[in-house]
């Protein structure tokens, strides 16, 4: 009964319409917000000119507050930085983050909520959308207006125009490669956004409590049912560990040059040639799914439909056939260079420069001729 009574009717009645205002979900690391998160701010700017952006940062400890200070001056359209400081947000788990977004949305009544289309946004935003009972629009690559978006379909082979007709908030994940962050200089004195702490005292209460302002203690049996429903949805995931390799190379998602190897490398040992070339060029390393599945490299290096989407200045593909699932992740690169011994390989259809040759001859020659970094 309570589920059918549904948050949706109660929530909708609380949404008074008002002009555009956007909540951007941001990730931070080492006391700074991640560059990808700023793409969501750029996307928010494309919604409408006068669109105040509130940036939501969550975490715990001093690095969160350092990141908030920096975020307040990093982009002129950010009007406020909302900080949620709690051990619950020490790691980006979807359940507490989704409840946080629900809480902030109910208080701020934003017209749009935006995150980047990476593992953070893809994990958190749909769960928050479910709590707010709206349908998110994912993988947005262009914005025509406040409610009209372009997104790829069929592994990027077609673009689809989506008109959002649902209730507020309109929730989006956007591809960071489609909303590049220009270099912006913000005067820290005149351009700083305000920083406010999110009141988390009601975070563990159910939506019914916030909306109706009911003193549930006065109706014990109703409270018991509601708490059971809420308890059902929390604590289903827990943070185990973070493992990352510090290779000293740029991040694959934001690197200016990417050097990718495919199945043709034949072994993890041979794949080291790709890594050496990447080091000489100051590039990130990418791989096809075939190379990942064969165990040459970890799957965090996979580029493509089910891997990372990249759009560097220069993408170099060695021994990559150019399957559509791979192209879906790299075809927006500015310059594509392909080396393949098969002149009919589909990768040549998207390549700006193609070399029909054996990578086991071409890469050693490149390594020899390129100057030391």
Residues lying near ligand FAD in the complex (CB under 6 A): 262-264, 288-291, 302-307, 319-321, 323, 325-326, 329, 339-342, 345, 358-360
Structure tokens at 9: 């009717």
Shortest Å distance, C-beta 155 to ligand FAD: 8
In angstroms, the Cα distances linking 309 to 152, 170, 203 are 12, 24, 34
Q: Give the side-chain half-sphere CA count within 13 A for 309.
A: 20
User: From CA 25, how far away is CA 27, in angstroms rounded?
Assistant: 7
> Per the annotation, does 213 bind a ligand?
no
Shortest Å distance, C-beta 339 to ligand FAD: 6
User: From CA 191, how far away is CA 73, in angstroms rounded?
Assistant: 6
* CB-CB contact of 114 with 21 (8 Å): no
Shortest Å distance, C-beta 60 to ligand FAD: 34
Shortest Å distance, C-beta 303 to ligand FAD: 6
> Per the annotation, does 319 bind a ligand?
yes
> Per the annotation, does 12 bind a ligand?
no
> Per the annotation, does 153 bind a ligand?
no
> Per the annotation, does 14 bind a ligand?
no
Is 21 or 302 the residue whose CB approaches ligand FAD more closely?
A: 302
| Sign of torsion over alpha carbons 301, 179, 151, 27 | positive
* CB-CB contact of 328 with 303 (8 Å): no
SS3 for 130? helix
Is 104 or 290 the residue whose CB approaches ligand FAD more closely?
A: 290
Is 33 or 320 the residue whose CB approaches ligand FAD more closely?
A: 320
Residues 6+ apart with CB under 8 A from 321: 262, 288, 340, 342, 345, 346, 347
> Per the annotation, does 8 bind a ligand?
no
Shortest Å distance, C-beta 114 to ligand FAD: 24
Shortest Å distance, C-beta 140 to ligand FAD: 19
**Beta strand 22-25 with 53-59: parallel, antiparallel or unpaired?**
parallel
> Per the annotation, does 102 bind a ligand?
no
Give the residue nearest to ligand FAD (CB): 304
Is 197 or 342 the residue whose CB approaches ligand FAD more closely?
A: 342
Binding residues: 263, 288-289, 302-306, 319-326, 340
Which residues fall in the annotated binding site for FAD? 263, 288-289, 302-306, 319-326, 340
């Amino acid at each position: 009964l309570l589920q059918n009574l549904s948050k949706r009717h109660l929530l909708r009645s609380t949404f008074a319409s008002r002009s555009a205002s956007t909540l951007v979900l941001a990730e931070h690391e080492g006391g700074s917000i991640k560059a990808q998160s700023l793409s969501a701010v750029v996307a928010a700017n494309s919604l409408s000119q006068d669109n105040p952006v509130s940036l939501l940062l969550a975490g715990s400890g001093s690095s969160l507050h350092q990141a908030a200070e920096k975020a307040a001056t990093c982009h002129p359209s950010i009007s406020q930085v909302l900080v949620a400081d709690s051990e619950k947000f020490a790691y980006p788990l979807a359940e507490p983050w989704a409840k946080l977004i629900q809480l902030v949305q109910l208080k701020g009544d934003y017209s749009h909520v935006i995150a980047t289309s990476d593992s953070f946004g893809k994990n958190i935003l749909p769960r928050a959308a479910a709590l707010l009972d709206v349908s998110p629009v994912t993988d947005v690559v262009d914005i025509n207006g406040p409610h009209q978006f372009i997104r790829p379909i069929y592994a990027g082979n077609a673009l689809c125009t989506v008109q959002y007709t649902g209730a507020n908030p309109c929730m989006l994940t956007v591809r960071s490669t489609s909303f590049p962050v220009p270099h912006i200089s913000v005067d820290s004195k005149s351009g700083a956004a305000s920083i406010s702490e999110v009141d988390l005292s009601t975070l563990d209460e159910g939506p019914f409590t916030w909306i109706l302002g009911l003193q549930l203690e006065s109706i014990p049996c109703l409270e018991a049912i509601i708490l059971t429903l809420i308890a059902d949805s929390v604590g289903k995931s827990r943070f185990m560990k973070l493992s990352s390799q510090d290779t000293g190379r740029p991040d694959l998602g934001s690197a200016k040059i990417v050097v990718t190897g495919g199945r043709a490398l034949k072994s993890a040992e041979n794949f080291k040639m790709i890594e050496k070339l990447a080091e000489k060029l100051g590039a990130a390393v990418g791989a096809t799914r075939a190379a990942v599945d064969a165990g040459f490299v970890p799957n965090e290096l996979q580029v493509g439909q089910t891997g990372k989407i990249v759009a560097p200045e220069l993408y170099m593909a060695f021994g990559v056939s150019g399957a559509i699932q791979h192209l879906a992740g790299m075809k927006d690169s500015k310059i594509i260079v392909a080396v393949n011994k098969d002149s009919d390989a589909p990768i040549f259809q998207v390549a700006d420069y193609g070399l029909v040759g054996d990578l086991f001859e071409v890469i050693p020659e490149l390594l020899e001729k390129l100057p030391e970094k």
